Amino acid sequence: MINKKSLRKTKKATTPNIKALYLHIPFCHALCPYCDFPKLLLIKRYVKQYIPSLIKELKSLKINHPLKTIYIGGGTPTSIDLLPLLKALQPYISRDTEFTIEGNVLDFNPDLLKQYQQYHVNRISLGVQAMDNRLLKVLGRDHLVIDVMSKVALIKRYIKNINVDLIYGFNELSNDALKKELAVYQKLGVKHISTYALEIHPGTKFYLKHKKPMDSAKVRTQFDIIYRYLTKHGYVRYETSNFAKPGFMSKHNLVYWRDEEYYGVGLGAAGYVRGYRYQNTRNIEEYIKGRYRLNKEKVTKEDDKKYYLMLLLRTKDGINLADYKKRFGTNLLLEKPVITSLIKRGLLTKNKTHLFTTYEGSMLLDIILREIF
Amino acid sequence: MAFDRSHIRNFSIIAHIDHGKSTLADRLLESTNTISKREMKEQVLDSMDLERERGITIKLNAVTLSYKADNGEDYVFNLIDTPGHVDFTYEVSRSLAACEGALLVVDATQGVEAQTLANMYLAVDNDLKVLPIINKIDLPSADIDRVKKDITDRIGISGDEALLVSAKTGQNIHDVLEAIVRDVPAPTGDDNAPLKALIFDSYYDSYRGVVILLRIKEGHVKEGDTIHLMAANKDYLVTEIGIRTPKELRVKELHTGEVGYLAAQIKDIKDVHSGETVTLKDHPTATPLPGYKKLQPMVYCGLYPVDSKYYDDLKEALDKLSLNDASLVYEAETSQALGFGFRCGFLGLLHMDVIQERLEREYHLNLILTAPSVIYHVNLSNGEKIKVDNPSKLPDLSKINSIEEPYVKAEIMAPKEYVGAVMELCQNKRGIYQDLSYFDDTRMIIKYAMPLSEIIFNFFDKLKSFTKGYASLDYELDEYKASDLVKMDILLNGDTIDALSTIVHRPSAYNRGVAMVRKLKEIIPRQQFEVPIQAAIGGKVIARADVKAVRKDVLAKCYGGDISRKKKLLEKQKEGKKRMKQVGSVEVPQEAFMSVLSLDDD
């Protein structure tokens, strides 16, 4: 006789292993004027209670296999002692696990890097944002250009795979300054560059101070500059806003953009596990008490189609039409005739196997999606 | 058996929006136990949602109350509601014609306002006894002395006689009931004369056909009679007679002075008009009641579903609405830009608004309305005369000898300090000065002949803002006059959009063209390509503005937590897109087609 329990077991056994795990560390030394991620100032009392709660949430997932990627993001993970967490993560790490920690430039020192290395961290993501002291001040960062130069050199001695975050599309940044900044990253030999057009979100300092957003045509021009410079220098634009040297794409972020499942733990973190997308609470008190989930939503087939289109079209390769058919049982081009007109309008293009955006289409992706949805 | 006529009181309530007409009506119903507190839905008389939201009464209603007065005798009150807007002046006058008295309600915190005056004059025209009532005396900001003086000065009846009430708390409502008994005259008329009854409202009921609300002026009517509608020249067999309390209560007969309803298997509401006289086929009255007018639509516009697959739904909805609205006319038309739809005729702009809202709200239709137009008389060079109610149908200029447009006689009453401003406005709107006279010490009447098309283009709103809301406007169709008119086309991305064509006065065409392209530039969102917007007359471009192309429309970051949020945002934006119409290669929001109404081109 089959009982419910054994049924559940069978189902679990057939679910492919989830590859990725995201952990959120919400603490920061200072709050950046543009940041709308879940974050709070470093308060010792909270840190002391937060890490155990985070580890508890991690264990509750009952992950019983090694992960392909682990990503500790923030906030500023390097602002606190991660040792207990690093220890707790060791069972999920195998030889080829990509393990990234996000950090603040000034936090890095040889002891910290040795510790990270010892616990198999093999990728560092640096919140550099700009390479001009005046602009760094505008963006509310506490480091200087010279700090970036010396810290990148230091990190490279321990961990070669480095990403830098770059912010563009704000009025103080001139096109010339942007070009210079790109040249520095290239010379520093960073493997991966994430670009962010400045968005002014409610609740941020920029929003409260009525900072004037840059005209969208100018923002586009700045991205054109970034694209031209980086592709000329051997970086591949493998996602809307991300560039990498061959072999250095972020495996972790590709999980998101390929609409694959991932675990997410920590304050405000999101996850996609066994057909459900969930969102954690942004309230630290609640989180510490172990009330993790804010909401949880079953992803229907129709929802999933939207997620799939929205995410896959961000990638360089776009949508593998055979994969789409396998996943949803339909022929995308027949199902969404508007795609033909989007191709005519020069926003999408296709080859024998894939449908993907043109360069113009990649900059107008939301227009495309509003029509396909 | 007829009720003793000396114990009948027929009256209306006249009030400015929000001065408490509906609340007072509710209180009267409640304190005469017509409706118990338990049954009381706030503001019973305004039964359409739309009316309740806007605080205006569109559809008339009537209700019969019974009241035992302090003198120990029983009275029957017929409260007849009136709509309150310039589009419906005629209906107001017909419902007032069914009464002997009117309660004039003035807000103790506001004083007399323009709309009150306009209806007040209709009451005076109909020889009604007017009882002033100052409402909202419970409010801390009530200024009773000032409002009394206001009534004396502006309305010309003594404010000291006004009853002081709070319809909200029920304070002094009893005094109102007694005043109605004491001061409103009882109806007169000969119950044995041939039937003469006034229709003041009607509505369609799927079981009984058109239900007529009527006031018997002379004679009587009973079930089984064959009635004759004098203007329509049609006969019907009466199947049901009753009064509304407000629930319908069947009675055998209605007698002189009484108010009630009548059903007679009338299939088409277009045969039944307010102001019509009902008499008996076999025993007819010699002369109909005075004041009957057949209402003609004055304003036409195109009505289209945003998504053309809802054409049949729109047709069905219009069919249903017109069952209850004799003034709504429509016929199918086709637009190159908008596809299949209807050209609809309305009494005025409010009527148009109300129909639009009802179609959207009650029938869940997503609609595009084109700018309203009057009916032009066009004299062609070949001697033929044609009528044009759709600017895009105006023939080529070379084939036109002259174009005539409807003028109205506009009567504006305003406090004398605003006369200069009002005249300037009328002058700007091509008005032809007729007369200026004192109405009383403080107010003047300004008369202009004006093109109706100018009245449609936000004249009323401007008049209000020029006079701080104190002016009242009344107009009636006068005559057609030749004007120097041309058709102005709008081109989007080089294509003429028929639904955006308007007929304009040639000397102001340039200003209107500039204002129009500027306005459209504000409304039309950026698209993938730059979109030139041009205004042209006879193929010659007179104004241009460009909607710049959108260069970047993509979320810069999309990581774990952003994904669900982003999908929801896109879905929401997709919903918003449904309010856009794809016109050629350009996406145009619905409101663009009406934008000409909100132009500031002076």
Q: What is the mean pLDDT of residues A154-180?
A: 97
- By Cβ distance, the residue of B551, B555, B563 closest to A220 is B551
Taking an 8 Å cut-off on Cβ atoms, the answer to whether A306 and B553 are in contact is no
Burial call B185-202: b when 16+ CB within 10 Å, e when fewer: eebeeeeeeebbbbbbbb
Which residues make beta-bridge pairs with A276? A273, A298
Taking an 8 Å cut-off on Cβ atoms, the answer to whether B559 and A277 are in contact is no
Cα–Cα distance measured from residue B449 to residue B476, given in angstroms and rounded to the nearest whole number: 10
Quick check: A307 contacting B, CB < 8 Å? yes
The pLDDT of residue B1: 46
The pLDDT of residue B41: 52
- By Cβ distance, the residue of A240, A241, A270 closest to B564 is A270
| Residue B171 DSSP one-character state | B
Cα–Cα distance measured from residue B93 to residue B97, given in angstroms and rounded to the nearest whole number: 6
Taking an 8 Å cut-off on Cβ atoms, the answer to whether B561 and A269 are in contact is yes
Q: What is the mean pLDDT of residues A201-214?
A: 92
The pLDDT of residue B247: 78
Strands (E), B470-550: 472-483, 485-492, 495-496, 502-505, 531-537, 540-547
Taking an 8 Å cut-off on Cβ atoms, the answer to whether A297 and B564 are in contact is yes
ipTM for the complex?
0.91
Of B197, B204, B176, B277, whose CA–CA distance to B234 is shortest? B277
Q: Are A346 and A360 in contact (CB under 8 A)?
A: yes
Q: What is the mean pLDDT of residues A268-282?
A: 96
Taking an 8 Å cut-off on Cβ atoms, the answer to whether A373 and B550 are in contact is no
Q: CB neighbours of A123 closer than 8 A, spacing ≥ 6?
A: A98, A99, A100, A101, A159, A161, A162, A163, A250
Residue A58 pLDDT greater than 50, yes or no: yes
The pLDDT of residue B85: 58
The pLDDT of residue A206: 95
The pLDDT of residue B57: 42
Taking an 8 Å cut-off on Cβ atoms, the answer to whether B551 and A314 are in contact is no
Quick check: B558 contacting A, CB < 8 Å? yes
Residue A312 pLDDT greater than 90, yes or no: yes
- By Cβ distance, the residue of A216, A221, A311 closest to B563 is A311
Quick check: B397 contacting A, CB < 8 Å? no
pLDDT tens for B37-64 read 555 554 454 445 554 444 444 444 788 9
Size of interface A-B (CB pairs under 8 A): 98
CA distance A108 to chain B (A): 25
Quick check: B563 contacting A, CB < 8 Å? yes
Residue B122 pLDDT greater than 90, yes or no: no
Q: Which of B526, B547, B554 best tests the A interface by mutation, with the highest count of A CBs <10 A?
A: B554
The pLDDT of residue B296: 81
How high is the mean pLDDT of chain A?
Answer: 94
Of B77, B122, B121, whose CA–CA distance to B97 is shortest? B122
Higher pLDDT, B88 or A45: A45
Q: Residue A262: its chain B contacts at CB < 8 A?
A: 560
Quick check: A299 contacting B, CB < 8 Å? no
Residue B154 pLDDT greater than 90, yes or no: no
Q: Are B541 and B488 in contact (CB under 8 A)?
A: no
Cα–Cα distance measured from residue B596 to residue B342, given in angstroms and rounded to the nearest whole number: 20
Chain A, nearest residue to B577 by Cα: A370
As given in the structure block, the two tokens for residue B148 are 């009394």
Band (A254; pLDDT cuts 50, 70, 90)? very high
Q: Residue A237: its chain B contacts at CB < 8 A?
A: none
The pLDDT of residue B46: 47
Q: What is the mean pLDDT of residues A282-291?
A: 96
CA distance B121 to chain A (A): 53
Q: Are B176 and B165 in contact (CB under 8 A)?
A: yes
Q: Residue B528: its chain A contacts at CB < 8 A?
A: 345, 347, 364, 367
Share of chain A above pLDDT 90, in %: 91
Quick check: A216 contacting B, CB < 8 Å? yes
- By Cβ distance, the residue of A199, A221, A364 closest to B528 is A364
CA A198 to mean position of chain CA atoms: 16
Q: Which of B527, B529, B552, B578 best tests the A interface by mutation, with the highest count of A CBs <10 A?
A: B552
The pLDDT of residue B284: 96
The pLDDT of residue B40: 52
Residue A5 pLDDT greater than 50, yes or no: no
How high is the mean pLDDT of chain B?
Answer: 89
Q: What is the mean pLDDT of residues B227-250?
A: 92
Band (A12; pLDDT cuts 50, 70, 90)? very low
Q: What is the mean pLDDT of residues A120-126?
A: 98
The pLDDT of residue B350: 79
Residue A1 pLDDT greater than 60, yes or no: no
The pLDDT of residue B177: 96
Q: CB neighbours of B284 closer than 8 A, spacing ≥ 6?
A: B194, B195, B228, B230
Q: Residue A199: its chain B contacts at CB < 8 A?
A: 556
The pLDDT of residue B513: 94
Residue B386 pLDDT greater than 90, yes or no: yes
pLDDT tens for B564-596 read 999 999 999 998 888 888 888 899 998 899 887
Cα–Cα distance measured from residue B218 to residue B220, given in angstroms and rounded to the nearest whole number: 7
Quick check: B387 contacting A, CB < 8 Å? no
Cα–Cα distance measured from residue A348 to residue A355, given in angstroms and rounded to the nearest whole number: 7
CA distance B521 to chain A (A): 17
Q: Residue A281: its chain B contacts at CB < 8 A?
A: none
Q: Residue B563: its chain A contacts at CB < 8 A?
A: 256, 270, 272, 277, 307, 310-311
Band (B87; pLDDT cuts 50, 70, 90)? low
pLDDT tens for B459-495 read 888 898 898 888 878 788 899 999 999 999 999 999 9
pLDDT tens for B1-35 read 456 889 999 999 988 777 888 888 888 888 887 76
Q: Residue B587: its chain A contacts at CB < 8 A?
A: none
Q: Which of A366, A368, A372 best tests the B interface by mutation, with the highest count of B CBs <10 A?
A: A366
Quick check: B566 contacting A, CB < 8 Å? yes
Q: CB neighbours of B426 closer than 8 A, spacing ≥ 6?
A: B410, B412, B433, B446, B448, B450
- By Cβ distance, the residue of B554, B557, B563 closest to A364 is B554
Q: Residue B571: its chain A contacts at CB < 8 A?
A: 306, 373
Q: What is the mean pLDDT of residues A77-83?
A: 97
Q: Which helix (H) or strand (E) holds A125?
A: strand A123-129
Taking an 8 Å cut-off on Cβ atoms, the answer to whether B528 and A217 are in contact is no
- By Cβ distance, the residue of A22, A314, A365 closest to B560 is A22
Share of chain A above pLDDT 70, in %: 96
Angle at B16 between CA B15 and CA B19, to 5 degrees: 80
Residue A11 pLDDT greater than 50, yes or no: no
Q: Residue A256: its chain B contacts at CB < 8 A?
A: 558-560, 563
Residue B361 pLDDT greater than 90, yes or no: no
At residue B464, the 3 state secondary structure works out as helix
CA distance A24 to chain B (A): 11
Q: Residue B574: its chain A contacts at CB < 8 A?
A: 370, 373
